[in-house]
Amino acid sequence: LLDEVRAHLEHEEGRLAEPAPYRDFVAYSRLAVSAEQHRTYFERVLGDVEEPTAPYGVLDTHGDGSETGETVVELAAEVAERLRAQTRRHGVSAAAFFHLAWARVAAATTGQTHPVFGTVLLGRMDAGGTAHRTPGLYINTLPIRIDATQTLDQGLGTVQAQLGELLAHEHAPLALAQQVTSLPAQSPLFTSLLNYRHSPAAASAQVDLPESENVGIEILYASERTNYPLTVSVDDTGVGFRFVVQAVAPMDSGVVCGLFETAVMNLVVGLEERSGVVLDRVPVLDDRQRELVLSGWNDTAREVPATTLPDLFEAQAARTPDAAAMVFGGGTEREALSYAELNARANRLAHLLMAEGVGPEDLVAICLPRSVDLVVSLLAVVKAGAAYLPLDPDYPVERLAATLADGRPMALITTSTTTDAGLGAGIGMRRVVLDDPAVSGVLSGMSVVDPVRSGHRPEH
């Protein structure tokens, strides 16, 4: 296109060949490989995919790129030289290497072992004899799926083969690839792209404009955007490599670029050492990021007062004795307790349990339906210093009996209508039946003072 612009500006348009019609490419791309052949290939590669590969969980692939952040990094020349040495040793392209590196980052940011991402295809490699001089939309994006459980040596060979296979389908519709998966409708197959491109001009960060002082063209501004939330472009300058990462919030392009650069460097080291390391074991965090994850974000230590749940509840009851602590039911069956009332009932039951021999480190089973009594019982057991074993009264009797036999609690709190009177017999367990008139009478005479404050239970 730029060559034609130059020819017209220099009044040499007569030397230009007859324009090749874009319709020839359209016909070629539709007829060269059938839709059935495309479908067969993608079914083999993607047929069992059930969830999108979405780094950081970002699924929106309909953005306009307006909120995109961008980070550009030059790979160190020494690392680039070592990288090319390894690709030559394995007989693969640098493109295969960088696809493997991005697969590692995609796996790390999604938790998947077989990540899928889009790879950008030039579209002119196999598009007919005039493709090199036909203006038009040739570029296509298609999915590639890489097994992150392979060794690095295996992965390079596999990716090189996959890229070769994909070239035969470079004009396949992405929609067709999406259809052969098991993904729900409207779910994206992937949300990140890798664009590997030969960019000699990237070495000087200049746009390849016609080389003439008289052309009179000046680039004022240029930008690249896609609707995908995460795009990684690798510019191969012929000597080194430049990474351009574009990401939308909440993703940070700088962080992603750091992950990619670290993965690249560790892949080079792994290949040089020939250690047989598996791809998903390759580190993607540099020293600073690792320190942040292990120490910075985990610095959550806080001073906690040396107090207990019963102490906290007693303090709350003292501050707001008349405030509603709990409400159960509605209408005429509505039952409400203030903090003072709930605390008093729990203290009475706690004293009763201790009179039955319950103490610290004992186990008390509670088999009650959802009710005020259930909350009172849970609090009372804790106030007595014991631990509670919750039992669902809707479970079969056989299951409740097996749980009691296995746990061997000191006591069982229940009602006469909730559990069978014979439940738990034979294991030396005391029964506290809350609706038994005798138990109710004993409870009414128990102290409403916290067991610790009354000196009946040791603090622990």
So what's the pLDDT on residue 24?
77
Residue 449 lies in a domain: no
So what's the pLDDT on residue 201?
62
How far, in Å, CA of 316 to CA of 308, rounded? 12
Residue 308 lies in a domain: no
Tokens of 83: 């990288």
Question: Does 376 lie in the same domain as 233?
Answer: no
Question: Does 280 lie in the same domain as 235?
Answer: yes
pLDDT above 60: residue 214: no
Tell me the pLDDT tens digit for each residue of 400-413. Answer: 999 999 999 999 99
Question: Does 366 lie in the same domain as 249?
Answer: no
pLDDT above 70: residue 456: no
So what's the pLDDT on residue 89?
95
CB count, 10 Å around CB of 328?
15
How far, in Å, CA of 346 to CA of 267, rounded? 62
How far, in Å, CA of 111 to CA of 148, rounded? 11
CATH number at residue 383: 3.40.50.980
Residue 307 lies in a domain: no
Tell me the pLDDT tens digit for each residue of 84-93. Answer: 999 999 999 9
Choose between 137 and 251: higher pLDDT: 251
Residue 217 lies in a domain: no
Tell me the pLDDT tens digit for each residue of 9-25. Answer: 889 989 888 877 888 77
Tell me the pLDDT tens digit for each residue of 282-308. Answer: 999 999 999 998 888 888 888 877 788
Residue 330 lies in a domain: yes
Residue 384 lies in a domain: yes
So what's the pLDDT on residue 344?
95
Instruction: Work out the pLDDT band at 460, boundaries 50, 70, 90.
Output: very low
- Boundary of a domain, candidates 250, 265, 296: 296
Question: Does 177 lie in the same domain as 44?
Answer: yes
Residue 84 lies in a domain: yes
pLDDT above 70: residue 215: no
Tokens of 165: 């296979």
* Mean pLDDT over the full length of the chain: 89
Domain count, the chain: 2
Question: Does 340 lie in the same domain as 407?
Answer: yes
* Mean pLDDT of the region 91-102: 97
Q: Which residue range forms the structural domain that includes residue 113?
A: 2-205+223-296
CATH number at residue 46: 3.30.559.30
